[in-house]
Amino acid sequence: MTATPGNRLANSASAYLRSAEHQPVHWHEWGEEAFARARAEDKPILLDIGAVWCHWCHVIDRESYENPEIATLINQLYIPVKVDRDERPDVDARYQAAISAISGQGGWPLTGFLTPDGRPFFGGTYFPPDDAMGRPGFRRILSAVAEAYRERRAEVDRSAQTLADAVTKAETFLEARASLSPHLLDEMEDSTVRQFDIRNGGFGRAPKFPHPAAIDFLSERFQASGHRHLLSIVQTSLTKMACGGVYDQIGGGFHRYSVDERWCVPHFEKMSYDNAPLLANYVRAWQITGDPLFRRTAEGIIRWTSELLSDPADRGGFYSSQDADISLDDDGDYFTWTQDEVRQALPPDEALVIELYYDVEPVGEMHHNPAKNVLWVAREFAELTTRMGKTEAEVEALLASAQKHLLEARAKRPTPAIDRAIYTGWNAMYVSSYLEAGRALGRDDCRAFALKSIDRLLAEAWNPARGFAHRVGGPRLVGSLDDQVYAAAALLDAFEATLDRRYFDAAVRAADLALDLYGDAEAGAFFDRSRLAAPMGGLEVRRKPFQDSPTPSGNSCGALVLSRLYAYTGEQRYRERATATLESFAGVAPQYGLFAASYALALGVHLNPPAQVVVLGRAGDPHAARLEQAALAVFRVAKAVLRVTPEHLAANLLPPALAATLPHLDANVPQALVCAGGMCHPPTSDPAALPSLLVPSRSS
């Protein structure tokens, strides 16, 4: 199909916007052209924010934006603007806050009605074309809102200004400053624990999201305290998720969230920004518990990412998402199975083990097609062995063969599309998780791809005057705070994995530029947009992101990066700016609880400096390798394990504060030095002694 007259999306860099090029709506991309036309014609703006992976975005596209009658109504009454939320997180964040204040809910598609200067005065999420499901019909809303704009303009302007003022106050956290205290960590732990679902794992009720930062926070609190109930929350949550339909039992990787409390029926899209931190969750849980399920799940995420979400290995880079559906006529049909489909794809004994293990029955879980089953682990192996009259080893082998053949059968189906956009922040998250997986799981392939990917970001997204761009390729998009601080964190991780000083120096440059361009030197913390960025247009708010939604808050990650840099350099300015950032939100953090878990992690590292483990010895020394592996096997947030050879010391590759602790040691002798907060334990050559230096004695 070709673009209709007035539709300006055909040449967009965004796959989501290009998917609307055929629609009869006269869409504009976000920008001054749209605002100028709205002012000139004195029309309100209809704002649609969505994403290529979003099922309900495609539903409203088909039902309303592809409907000629509704499109005609929009073109007559409005200046329509379509935004890709992945491409423009700054636009999305501001209008999510505003529309949530109006309607009580956010999400995608986000439908906003704006004054010509971009201030919202009405909105919601998905609207059916006609009155349905308790929602007013889009046709009626379009006419009523346009009439209100014409006939009650003063009222509309007052509402828009009141809402803009409220969003400004809420998003800048002007009254949230408080002193830092360890008691704040206790309060946030209590708040998170209270939301734990003891029966199903995870937090809260349906719809249920993974909350990786909360898992990390409770994992770290367990490692610090030894309180077993915290480990139980982590284990229960990760086990239930890994055994649920929210995890792709055949192909690996996690879907975005579950519509039910049991993690059974997911929204089927798969996001890079979910799978990257979940990979780290499962690697760390495996380090803590040794549970093979956690390692298998981590390996499954890696397998899916490497096969479908990774740019070719000679380039590096991670794609952004995989769609849920092939078309609007299905709902996860690629990922689900009827009993007949299983039996057609597999020999009888393999079909039986799949049906028993994953609860595949004639009636499944999908409302649009009741014969479709979501695969979720319904039975323990012990029950399978009894039901099938086989040994556990025989059942394991049969299940592995059945999974392989079922995946081969699924591969013959049309595959949901991959959005191949490479966004800096989400790539940086994957780099960090791949590096951690590479070291903890012995996956050299993960390490190599992560380093290739961070090198690509440095080569194609970095600008020494402006920092990291938001996207690799296409017209340059100004980077967000997340892009800067996630990339700085990944660069520190790359330095720790390689001891290549260029990564450390690049992390310093990225952090310094973030402080200069995004930092609030007077009031503390960071804004989400650079002071060099062109005016955004619309709802101009100097926003300070704090809530994890769902990715870690840029301010929390920024504070964590500054604390890590202070530990390496001893430069007081990094600690002072980290303190100011954390103090900016300390007064409200307990109220956010679960949704500020990354803040709790950053505060914990700030108050209790992370361990730096320096493993000395000649290159290739087997004893030094055992010391390194012993240190890597222990999870602690922001812990660094640095493998230092005599050549590294001679080349002066270590940061100054770290280098100052080492001159009295012989780098030719295999030994490990554990330091934190400027204090060092005596060096040890015993690998068995290292865990006790990194994790305190357990209490009940």
- Provide the pLDDT for residue 575: 97
pLDDT tens figures, 227-265: 999 999 999 999 999 999 999 999 999 999 999 999 999
- Provide the pLDDT for residue 542: 92
Residues 6+ apart with CB under 8 A from 245: 255, 258, 263, 264, 265, 266, 365, 374, 375, 376
pLDDT at 699 over 50: no
pLDDT band at residue 6 using 50, 70 and 90 as cut-offs:
low
Comma-separated ranges of CATH 1.10.10 domains in the chain? 339-415
Residue 17 near residue 82 (C-beta atoms within 8 A): yes
Ordered DSSP codes for 293-347: HHHHHHHHHHHHHHHHSB--TTT--B--EE-S-SSTT-SSTTT-B-HHHHHHHS-
pLDDT at 700 over 50: no
pLDDT band at residue 697 using 50, 70 and 90 as cut-offs:
low
How many Å apart are CA 71 and CA 104, to the nearest integer? Answer: 27
The reply to whether CATH 3.40.30.10 applies to domain 15-172 is yes
How many Å apart are CA 310 and CA 304, to the nearest integer? Answer: 9
Tell me the CATH architecture of domain 612-694.
3-Layer(aba) Sandwich (3.40)
Nearest residue to 435 (alpha-carbon basis) of 500, 481, 480, 483: 500
pLDDT tens figures, 159-196: 999 999 999 988 999 899 999 999 999 999 999 999 99
DSSP tag of 594: G
Mean pLDDT of 24-31: 96
Give, in degrees to the nearest 5, the angle at Cα 542 between 78 and 581: 150
The highest-level CATH class for domain 182-197+205-324+419-535+545-607 is mainly alpha
| Residue 550 preceded by cis peptide, ω within 30 | yes
Comma-separated ranges of CATH 1.50.10.10 domains in the chain? 182-197+205-324+419-535+545-607
pLDDT tens figures, 654-681: 888 888 877 778 899 999 999 988 888 9
- Provide the pLDDT for residue 132: 81
Q: Containing H/E element for 675?
A: strand 671-676
Q: Which residue has the tokens 């309100």?
A: 44
The sheet that has 110-114: what strands, in order across it?
79-84, 45-50, 110-114, 120-124
How many Å apart are CA 546 and CA 487, to the nearest integer? Answer: 18
The highest-level CATH class for domain 339-415 is mainly alpha
Listed in order, strand segments (DSSP E) in 438-565 are 462-463, 467-468, 471-472
- Provide the pLDDT for residue 649: 87
Instruction: Output the six-digit token pair for 225.
Output: 């305290």
Comma-separated ranges of CATH 3.40.30.10 domains in the chain? 15-172
pLDDT at 312 over 90: no
Is pLDDT larger for residue 39 or for residue 696? 39
Residue 344 burial (CB count, 10 A):
10
pLDDT at 208 over 60: yes
pLDDT tens figures, 359-369: 999 999 998 89
Q: Containing H/E element for 479?
A: none
pLDDT tens figures, 79-120: 999 999 999 999 999 999 999 998 888 899 999 999 999 999
pLDDT at 492 over 90: yes
- Provide the pLDDT for residue 504: 97
Residue 700 near residue 222 (C-beta atoms within 8 A): no
Q: pTM here?
A: 0.96
Residues 6+ apart with CB under 8 A from 506: 458, 462, 491
- Provide the pLDDT for residue 1: 41
- Provide the pLDDT for residue 249: 98
Burial label for 666, CB within 10 Å (0-12, 13-18, 19+), is exposed
